[in-house]
Amino acid sequence: MYVMTTATAPLPASTPAPVWARRAAHAIALCAVPSGLWRIAMASGVYVGYSDQVLRDVFDIPGWGVAYVVGLSVLTELAALFPLLLVSDRWRPLHPRVLTPLAWTASGVLVLVALWQLVVAFTVESQTYMSSGTAQTVWGLAFAPLFAIPALMTAVTWSYAKRHWARGQVQLLPRP
């Protein structure tokens, strides 16, 4: 005999995510692709602006640096797929009371990481290893889309929290 409890009861159907939120969630996943491809090219031996000596000494490529760089690309793309959970109508692995604070935390971390990356990108040390010119331009174009992710993630999170708050499942903003 099956007994339904609050733990096993299905979640009521939620309001579908707005089209703009769905597009923003998909854009987040796409924003991570250029930098991932750039890293994979670097790990594969394609010239991306670093000398062979810098690749060996600083990035340990060839060597363990290849696994690190490819792994970082894979993890970045997997993390960029997280917002799709916030707009999915079919698959809900976490209850909105759990997913909403997790999404707000992710949004805050992304803002901090973006600010940190701006500091790193404009320091003298980070620019001394890469040759100037075309390679630096390609690097900038590959990593520039990452700076759109914090704003997009915050918008998608706001939409998700607002939809579930209207149904009484979560608070709109996390408590301090």
**Residue range 91-142, pLDDT digits in tens:** 666 666 677 777 778 778 888 887 877 777 677 555 667 777 888 888 888 8
Contact 152, 80 (CB under 8 A): no
Q: What are the phi and psi torsion angles at 50 (to 5°)?
A: -105, 140
pTM: 0.73
64/166: higher pLDDT: 64
- Is the torsion defined by CA of 11, 29, 127, 69 positive or negative? positive
